Chains A and B, each alone.
Chain A
Amino acid sequence: MARETSSLFTRELVLGAARDSFPKLDPRLQIRNPVMFIVEVGSVITTGIFALQLLRGDTGNLWFVATTAVWLWLTVLFANFAEAIAEGRGKAQASALRATRTTTAALRRLPDGTLEEVPAPELQRGDVVVVEAGGVIPADGEIIEGVGSVDESAITGESAPVIREAGGDRSAVTGGTRLLSDKLVIEVTQEPGRSFLDRMIALVEGAERRKTPNEVALNILLAGLTVTFVAAVVTLRPYALYSGTNLSQTVLIALLVALIPTTIGALLSAIGIAGMDRLVQRNVLAMSGRAVEASGDVDVLLLDKTGTITLGNRQASEFIPVDGVGAAELAEVAQLASLADEKPEGRSIVVLAKEQFGLRGRELADHEALFIPFSATTRMSGVDLDGHRLRKGAADAVKRWVTEQGGVIPPRLDEAVETIARAGGTPLVVAQDNFVLGVVHLKDVVKGGMRERFDELRRMGIRTVMITGDNRVTAAVIAEEAGVDDFLAEATPETKMALIKEEQAKGRMVAMTGDGTNDAPALAQADVGVAMNTGTSAAKEAGNMVDLDSNPTKLIEIVEVGKQLLITRGALTTFSIANDVAKYFAILPAMFATTYATVPGHSGPLAQLNVMHLGTPRSAILSAIIFNALVIPALVPLALRGVKYRAIGATALLRRNLFIYGGGGVILPFVGIKLIDLIVHNLLGA
């Protein structure tokens, strides 16, 4: 699917959402959102009042009632629009995915070896299918025979093909992807209709969306506030009657709608959907909203060393010659010995020699060269060139080889080898015939920018733990270099699991990434388990998220999205409640403009509370509900994009958000309502 994120709104999306806003008026759907349900009930009542007055021919305040009714309906529609637009983005992605799914047919191999053609949706778990080059893989499964390159762009959006082969951790294939070369025999691992693609469609479409725990908790608070505001408004009528003022139902409904937290009520579900969507934009599929929310709470991040923190392959970092040998000489021999070595270590030696001493890989065609590849028995490799034998390899192997030829081991060699080993590196001894030239230091290279990312995580309050199979010494050096907080050396699936349980017992939330089958139990145990899409299906089943890019540092972004989700809810809740102050100052003086007036019909003492100097009581009330309605679509972009998370520490973040959304929430409506009143009162003459 195309995941190029353009603007939040396309014409098509907005029109579709506007259309979808109307069916959502169904009260059976609205009741799930108590705040907006109250607004809808208010709209119905106000419309009823309007209809009755029309029938009776009572035109006294007909215009006012009609306008109020319209704006109340608009409030509900704006809320529906917010939800629809959030859903609409998912729907577009889902239909693209669905197109992939429906066009597939499968070749099933029966136990006797014959092949039959069946529709892909009929495949059962355990069936064996054969896919030829150019064919679409009909279902999720494990490769049991063959190797092939697979185009997974339909799922990941990544156009470069990936290699999939039987056995090991890269044996899983996903239904809907295309085999580009060779032929695969695949055992189906999914039930019909429960494929990865099916789940993905359901997820992006929001069909399986359930309210997350925190959303439920917030809803309870909002519902509680709403009930209390209903009481405050309903009781206002008797209070007013006592004070000699008769408040119309329209005015009371307008006050109620203005007071209840409609802003957050209207945007709450859009915020949740958009949060999931933001993950999808980053090529992460969360199996539940609960997992996304949990990721915002993560305290400990377990990261595999290889591939995540380091580049995965050791790289030459230094040439250490023995006494009497120049570094350049050592570099030249090491480079020559590595020229034919296509392994990353070998190539890194060639590159380092070029970088440090300007040695270009010499053209060996006109020389008589015989390349000696690495073998497990000799544990070295090299080249025989012009009668010289150049070798590089494990320290003890090269030493033995030199001694066998009658050479002498230089006294300082062991010292250099040991220093490198102690620093967590791998020493590679270089020799020419019976003469040892020195040592190449191979080390794990930490990926660029890792330290900054870990610093950022620390500021977010997240502790990073590096997991590695290396010994403690090596692990400590790399941990230090990468800037992680802690490490687990000589890790096995058991020790990894024990670490997770130990952290959880201390009340911490643990996140980890994994791809192998032996990661599956730990992925399941972790609060947030992100499986790599390249991983086995066992790992993908066990995790609660799948990263389609298979990028382990993605966890940082996932945590940010989780936090953004909560922050956006909190910010809009604060904003919504803070708005009420201004609305009171608009509506209360309007309601009681003539209460306790010394001259009946003239302004009474409470008219002094009209600090905004709004035109008339009616324009004041209308301005308040118009502001209340308009603020919803105005905040839709914020709800969809999310309030930015900043790793500046919790207290500073709170102060900032409190200032912007709390302070802004108090001040903005004073300005907004006044401006709307200027239009409503002066231009439209209300």
Chain B
Amino acid sequence: MTANGWLQILFYMVALGALGYPLGLVMAKVYSAEITPFERRLRFLGAPERAFARLTGAVKERDQDWKRYGLAVLIFSSVFIVGLYGLERLQSHLFFNPDHLPAVPWHIAFNTAASFVTNTNWQYYAGETTMSYLTQMVGLAVQNFVSAAVGMAVLAAVIRGFARRGEGGLGNFWTDLYRSLVYILLPLALALSVILVSQGVPQTLHGHVVATTVQGAQQSIARGPVASQEAIKQLGTNGGGFFNSNSAVPFENPNGLTNFLEVLSILLIPAAQVFMFGRMVLARRHAFVVFASMFVLFAAGVAVTVPAEQHGSAVLRSAGVNVTASGSQSGGNMSDKEVRFGIANTSLWAVATTDASNGSVNGGVDAMTPAGGGAPLVNIFLGEVVFGGVGSGLYGMFFMILIAVFVAGLMVGRTPEYLGKKIEAREMKIVAVGALFVPTMVLTLTAIAVVSDKGLASVFNHGAHGFTEALYAYTSQGNNNGSAFAGYGGTPFAASFGGVAMLLGRFVPLLAALALGGSLAAKRPAPVSAGTFRTDGATFAFLLVGVILLTAGLMVLPALTLGPIVEGLS
């Protein structure tokens, strides 16, 4: 690994903290405001928000309890699943379809609808040859915003529940949704797309360009409204690219600057949300500890993947590939990596995108070395809590925090409490569901997929690598990541199974988090004493990292043994 590469990674990490912190404070203000957050200075923003509040009934119901809040999320999301499915099936009859793409097959349409509404953006299709511009813009691009906003709204509600002192509900879903969209996602996405356009990312409604190559062959070059979708794809931890090859395509990601901004955007909002949480519950030091725990896991992922890729694999060496870095070549495993970005940036992207439930790629994960490709898989299996998806990452982290707090509380001889609130049987029930449902589901689905004939039809490679493909597919979908290991085929069986995995993987933890917020909102916090276990020190960070690794590790180790581990040891 070159010093240059490490320097770039270091710069990235500093930038993440430096931008995330102020953004978090702004976001805390956005969600904490009673009326509209910018009533005083940006008066004109008030009118549309009030109109939206009247339309959705948020004016009348300022404070929903967790059930009402959850119901609103479910209704809102179901409408979009049905709408998106309909749009995909009917796209051939609708406008903005210059390339006359046919209707999307039912299983792909269902999988895609579930995928984009759940902020997963798993793609069983090549965007440029499957989805019309209308589907891309009105369907997928809108979902990139909306599904991210739903996650952010739910997080705000859960945090509000933690902060309440025994009274009131969790806030209003529609208000939170509106604010996430209008005050956070849209401005950030707009700014990023303008920069991307300036760097050469296309933004057009015209169809393919036909070019004549040097050899005289006709080549059709896909383009479209790429920049706008690229920005929100990264910021909203969506990951569904305009093009099949995602951010490895020069039209999505032309140069080093865009690559840096895009990989920064993956973790920006999830990181900022940790600081927002600290501000909203008035526990800044605790938030730093949570941030540090996530950061350690993130850095560990980078520290495993980058050297592993730079070292290359035995297969490469035995094939006579020169894996030694020099002034003229990068060395290491460059298979499926963009030469523009090199090993450091591709590995950094792979780790960030799997930590953050984004799933976008700027290189192929399938061709990574076993350790290098195993780290992203472990990242996803950790439950997308290392920064994680926008909103969903931190609310998923709360389950882990509560397990850590529970064990810690016992070991210091006090009924466990978090932010001063007692953690009792009801909370543990919710936490057990929130933390353990997804891994259990993923293991079960993978099991069905590797023994049934229909499931095996999707597996591309044989042996352990094929097993990893299947495990990765359901892990990625179940955890709403969307990153693909490639190779796994979108048969009707796999697509519908995956769709169900994404829906359950999204909404079961989401509702559990809301229930947790509701349950804690009703409790009055107890003051801190010397006997209280403090959650704002290094000991807690250590414990939290341990709980995350042990909980996920113990679940996934047997499966990993038969996938990347056996591959790596062969």
Point out residues on A near B: beta carbons under 8 Å. 213-214, 216-218, 220-221, 223-225, 227-229, 231-243, 259, 293-294, 296-297, 299, 458-463, 506-509, 562-567, 569-571, 573-574, 577-578, 580-581, 584, 588, 592, 595-596, 604-606, 608-609, 645, 649-651, 653-655, 657-658, 661-662
Contacts and interface: CB of A to CB of B under 8 A. Distances in A.
A225 B552 CA distance: 11
B550 interface: yes
Contact of A462 (B407, B529, B554): B529
A221 B428 contact: yes
Given A645-B413, A657-B411, A238 B429 contact: no
Given A224-B436, A238-B451, A654-B543, A508 B526 contact: yes
Contacts of B554: 229, 232, 259, 577, 580-581, 584
A297 B444 CA distance: 41
A228 B436 contact: yes
Contacts of B450: 238-239, 241-242
- Closest 5 CB pairs between A and B? A461-B531, A570-B410, A563-B413, A224-B432, A507-B526
A317 to B, nearest CB: 34
A227 B415 CA distance: 25
Interface stretch (B32-40, B169-177, B286-294, B532-540): B532-540
B557 A584 contact: yes
B570 A232 contact: no
Interface in B446-493: 446-448, 450-451, 463-464, 467
A85 B463 CA distance: 52
A216 B413 contact: no
B442 to A, nearest CB: 9
Contacts of B410: 214, 218, 566-567, 569-571, 573
Contacts of A461: 529-532
A241 B533 CA distance: 46
Nearest to B554: A580
Contacts of B534: 650-651
Nearest to B542: A658
B429 to A, nearest CB: 5
B471 to A, nearest CB: 8
Given A221-B406, A605-B570, A654-B539, 7 more contacts: A228-B555, A239-B562, A242-B467, A566-B415, A592-B561, A606-B565, A662-B546
B453 to A, nearest CB: 12
Chain A CB within 10 A, most for which of B409, B436, B464, B529: B529
Interface stretch (B96-104, B213-221, B320-328, B419-427): B419-427
7 contacts: A214-B415, A217-B423, A223-B432, A237-B447, A242-B450, A242-B562, A581-B550
Contact of A220 (B407, B425, B467, B550): B425
Contacts of A565: 413
B440 interface: yes
Given A606-B566, A606-B569, A506 B527 contact: yes
B559 interface: yes
B381 to A, nearest CB: 12
B561 A649 contact: no
B530 A507 contact: no
Given A566-B413, A567-B413, A588-B557, A243 B464 contact: yes
Contact of A243 (B413, B467, B526): B467
A213 B424 contact: yes
A653 B565 contact: no
A406 B504 CA distance: 100
B403 interface: yes
B463 to A, nearest CB: 7
* Interface of A (DSSP majority class): helix
B432 A296 contact: no
Chain B CB within 10 A, most for which of A239, A461, A592: A239
B236 interface: no
A385 B460 CA distance: 117
A577 B558 contact: no
A447 B321 CA distance: 83
B342 interface: no
A606 B562 CA distance: 9
Interface of B: 403, 406-415, 420, 423-425, 427-429, 431-433, 435-436, 439-440, 443-444, 446-448, 450-451, 463-464, 467, 524-527, 529-534, 537, 539, 542-543, 546, 550, 554-555, 557-559, 561-562, 565-566, 569-570
Given A217-B425, A609-B561, A239 B446 contact: yes
Given A238-B447, A238-B451, A569-B410, A299 B561 contact: no
A609 B408 CA distance: 31
B413 A562 contact: yes
Contact of B550 (A232, A577, A595): A577
Contacts of B444: 231, 235
Nearest to A570: B410
B513 to A, nearest CB: 16
Contacts of A459: 530
Nearest to A225: B436
B267 to A, nearest CB: 28
A654 B467 contact: no
B428 A608 contact: no
Given A242-B451, A566-B415, A595-B562, A220 B428 contact: yes
Contacts of A595: 562, 566
B537 A651 contact: yes
B527 A299 contact: yes
A604 B562 CA distance: 12
A651 B539 contact: yes
A507 B525 contact: yes
Chain B CB within 10 A, most for which of A293, A604, A605: A605
A254 to B, nearest CB: 13
A577 B443 CA distance: 20
A459 B532 CA distance: 11
A522 B450 CA distance: 65
Contacts of B524: 507
A369 to B, nearest CB: 58
B428 A573 contact: no
Nearest to B531: A461
Contacts of B414: 296-297, 563, 566, 650
A365 to B, nearest CB: 60
B411 A567 contact: yes
A574 B407 contact: yes
B526 to A, nearest CB: 4
Nearest to B463: A596
Nearest to A234: B447
B447 A239 contact: yes
Contacts of A259: 554
B407 A650 contact: no
A651 B413 CA distance: 11
Contacts of B561: 588, 592, 606, 609
Contacts of B429: 220
B531 A232 contact: no
Contacts of B542: 658
Contacts of A564: 413
A562 B534 CA distance: 20
Nearest to B433: A224
A581 B534 CA distance: 27
A562 B439 CA distance: 35
Contacts of B428: 217-218, 220-221, 224
A231 B447 CA distance: 10
Chain A CB within 10 A, most for which of B447, B531, B555: B531
A645 B408 CA distance: 14
A227 B440 contact: yes
Contacts of B531: 299, 460-462, 650
Nearest to B446: A235
A582 to B, nearest CB: 12
A654 B414 CA distance: 11
A592 B566 contact: yes
Contacts of A562: 413
Nearest to B550: A577
Nearest to A244: B463
